[in-house]
Amino acid sequence: MAETLGSLCDKLTVLKLKEWHTSDPARLEDLGLQSGRIREEIDQFLAGALSGRIPLERLQAPAHKVVAGEGMGVDPVQGNIGSLVDRLARVNCALWHEQEKVYQFEKVPAGEKDEVVKRLARLNLERNECIDGIDREFARAVRGGSLEVP
């Protein structure tokens, strides 16, 4: 998948989670360098999109996830870019903690395993919806010439 604003924001929020959850100085230094590179990529992407160097069709790369089954939907993902990035960060935090359970899946009570898997699926769907929403709102703003602010 080509990089989009949403995918870059996703990468940055995950790097920030990794920074938050480590105390290893060498790892923190490496994560700081990675975060710096992603911030530079975001700035370059924004400049390229706003100047027209990045074509409009490259501003979005929808996931087009198809999810079967009842209860797998997520609340509508809408709002301005800031609120969508905020929601993406919250979803990635929730995903982080749910994924921790999977790393020690043998400790999850048998009656809760299905629910853990369903929560992971819903959170991943919501994560993709947030990324797509950021991309959609940014493309709309570039086409329309202005960003919506609260």
The string of pLDDT tens digits covering residues 79-126 is 899 999 999 999 999 999 888 877 777 777 788 888 778 888 889 999
Q: Which of 64 and 37 is assigned the larger pLDDT? A: 37
- Give me the DSSP letters along 10-29: HHHHHHHHHHHT---HHHHH
The structural domain count of the chain equals: 1
Q: By residue range, what is the domain housing residue 87? A: 5-144
According to DSSP H, which parts of 21-109 are helical? Answer: 25-51, 81-103
Say what the pLDDT of residue 88 is. Answer: 96
Q: Which amino acid is at 120?
A: L
Cβ–Cβ under 8 Å, residues 85 and 9: yes
pLDDT (mean) for 11-37: 95
Q: Is residue 150 part of a domain?
A: no
18 falls within a domain: yes
**Per-residue pLDDT tens over the stretch 44-73:** 999 999 898 988 888 888 765 655 455 666
How far is the CA of 132 from the CAs of 34, 37, 106, 137, in angstroms? 23, 22, 34, 9
Q: What is the pLDDT of residue 127?
A: 93
28 inside domain: yes
Q: In whole angstroms, what is the distance from residue 60 CA to residue 39 CA? A: 19
Q: How much is the average pLDDT of 20-48?
A: 95
* Whether 63 contacts 126, CB under 8 Å: no
Distance, C-alpha 75 to centroid of its chain:
16
Distance between CA atoms of residues 93 and 109, nearest Å = 23
Whole-model pTM: value is: 0.84
